[in-house]
Structure 1
């Protein structure tokens, strides 16, 4: 764990390092507080969370890492969804509390925890955070009465996310209802310490020589302007409000005879020479919302690969030909059959 932390720590930029040191000091001195890490996508907030996690856990401290969505929780070291970890009710109301009972293993874990990290916080209704606040005051206040009057019972909480992205889902809710459900509309927000990350790491604005790449800077600024609503939008017939924007020509891959080949050659130049270069492959990706497009791009990329082709087959269900099929289905659920542990077992057998 310490080696992993040292590797992560060396890559922190000054903005990340400032919050890292502040959180470490807060936890070490057993101070409380609510901290919000705000930054657009690409400022590698998750990277900072994992750096803090490895630091504290390497020093034998218990840190609870949760996220508002299952996918986001997988990116945190030993992460869980917030609803699972804190037993948050699915139907939240103003007076809701978490389902953690006194004198249970989960309550004992809350007593031992030194920090809670909650990613994708803007996705969750404010009542969830208020429920956790009330619950921690009740549980931690059972041993120390003074904790009942402290924010989150004196437990330091680091939440983070980007309000440009997904906000709480309110069935049939209007804009005002969605906004009022956000964490920054809670009474807790006035006690929050805000830290902002501004440097986009996903699209590095620097060249290999350390010079500023003006084209990449312009792209990053345009993406932020879209999220902030600063790009003029138009509407089509039947739209409730303007929601269509025009992408500048300089950010569009020029059409060629074969569109797929054009975009692949743009994102993966000299692929035939560098297909075994892990760093080259790791820093590139082609994103598409359609499965048909993804299949077509993958098929094109496979044709460009050099070397012997190998096929690895997988299965996500037990063969129904076995007489003890029902017992095996109970022993080997789908989640296990699709896990990396099961694949490793197959390769080693």
Structure 2
């Protein structure tokens, strides 16, 4: 707040384990700045973290970040745009879940803010508060070596030395389970005993496999079966580009399950929890990872209630939409699957369970 009041600029990193009150702190900072009649810009790396902040947007949307940045990328907003005006007049920028972001993105924002503010100070002299937990999910480098993954981290960026680090230490979320809190810290700080290749042994009751989409799907199917009521199965329409049409059988396309794509056969029952698989209307809380409760299963739409974020309690109608397989999944063609953009979410993979 000293920096905000004296307008001296400065970059900060708020380091805190899940549950130590990062979101609480961001909300307090934003409310205080707003109360002074000034502008705060709330952003976060993932859609879910963004929905926890009032009017929060993803960093990609806020800064118009390049999708495949390199070591001299810049953001694509122009000096005359709304984005530029907002950033120029903001008195604080908050960027949550920063450790999930490839450092090239921070470097692009640094370059663009210097250019916008016409000076050479870190981040153009703007006050910017990064936050998150380096013990959690880090940037994804597809099929990357350990060295590449480490190199992608914010701490390896030349800008990192300009960032002041602040710590939140008291875990408010695990106050009733001190054993879990202690284990979490010991793993995160690297104190847990390891076997050969740096792996750690988890207690037996915690299960011993990576959470893959496949594992989560199996668990979800089992639980849906146990639910009362009539199930309804929705089948997707799968297609590939014209010139490939006759090379692949429909059954083969239907059998493909890829991360980010809903299943070909989606079996649901009323009152089952769902997770949205893509941004549909982030302003109203419908983004990739939002959890919903299934209320009604109609032929052409799903009636659902939002369970998380600031739009909790809203009723929404979801249509079928065409979803494309991601570029980095090595399919020899682009698959378009027209389906409700949801999957059952009793079990989640690790990245989706953030926050």
Tell me the TM-score normalised to structure 1 length.
Answer: 0.61
Aligned to 1:260: none
Larger radius of gyration: 1
- Checking the alignment, whether the CA contact within 8 Å between 2:93 and 2:128 is kept in structure 1 is yes
Query: Residues 131-210 of structure 1: matches in 2 within 5 Å?
Result: 131-141=108-118, 148-204=119-175
1:291 and 2:220 aligned? yes
- How far 1:70 sits from its partner (Å)? 0.8
For residues 314 and 167 of structure 2, what CA distance do their matches in structure 1 show?
Answer: 40
Aligned to 1:100: 77
1:313 and 2:308 aligned? no
Aligned to 2:184: 223
Aligned to 1:255: none
For residues 135 and 75 of structure 1, what CA distance do their matches in structure 2 show?
Answer: 26
1:247 and 2:208 aligned? no
1:232 and 2:193 aligned? yes
For residues 120 and 195 of structure 2, what CA distance do their matches in structure 1 show?
Answer: 50
1:41 corresponds, among 4, 10, 18, to 18
- How far 1:314 sits from its partner (Å)? 6.5
- Checking the alignment, whether the CA contact within 8 Å between 2:192 and 2:200 is kept in structure 1 is no
For residues 139 and 51 of structure 1, what CA distance do their matches in structure 2 show?
Answer: 28
Cα deviation 1:77-118 (Å, max 9, x = unaligned):
110000111010011111000001011222111221111000
How much is the aligned-residue C-alpha RMSD, in angstroms? Answer: 3.2
Q: Name the one with the larger helix percent.
A: 1
Cα distance change, pair 104–42 in 1 and its aligned pair in 2 (3 A): same
Aligned residues: 238
Q: Name the one with the larger strand percent.
A: 2
- How far 1:61 sits from its partner (Å)? 1.2
- How far 1:59 sits from its partner (Å)? 2.5
- Checking the alignment, whether the CA contact within 8 Å between 1:110 and 1:140 is kept in structure 2 is no
- How far 1:312 sits from its partner (Å)? 4.3
Tell me the TM-score normalised to structure 2 length.
Answer: 0.60
Cα deviation 1:6-62 (Å, max 9, x = unaligned):
xxxxxxxxxxxxxxxxxx221121111110000111112111111111121132211
Moved over 4 A (4+): 292-299, 314-319, 339-342
- Checking the alignment, whether the CA contact within 8 Å between 1:70 and 1:81 is kept in structure 2 is yes
- Checking the alignment, whether the CA contact within 8 Å between 2:4 and 2:91 is kept in structure 1 is yes
For residues 299 and 127 of structure 2, what CA distance do their matches in structure 1 show?
Answer: 41
For residues 138 and 86 of structure 2, what CA distance do their matches in structure 1 show?
Answer: 30
Structure 1 unaligned residues grouped into runs of 5+: 1-23, 142-147, 206-215, 236-240, 253-287, 303-310, 320-334
1:343 and 2:315 aligned? yes
Aligned to 2:92: 115
Structure 2 unaligned residues grouped into runs of 5+: 208-215, 229-269, 271-293, 318-355
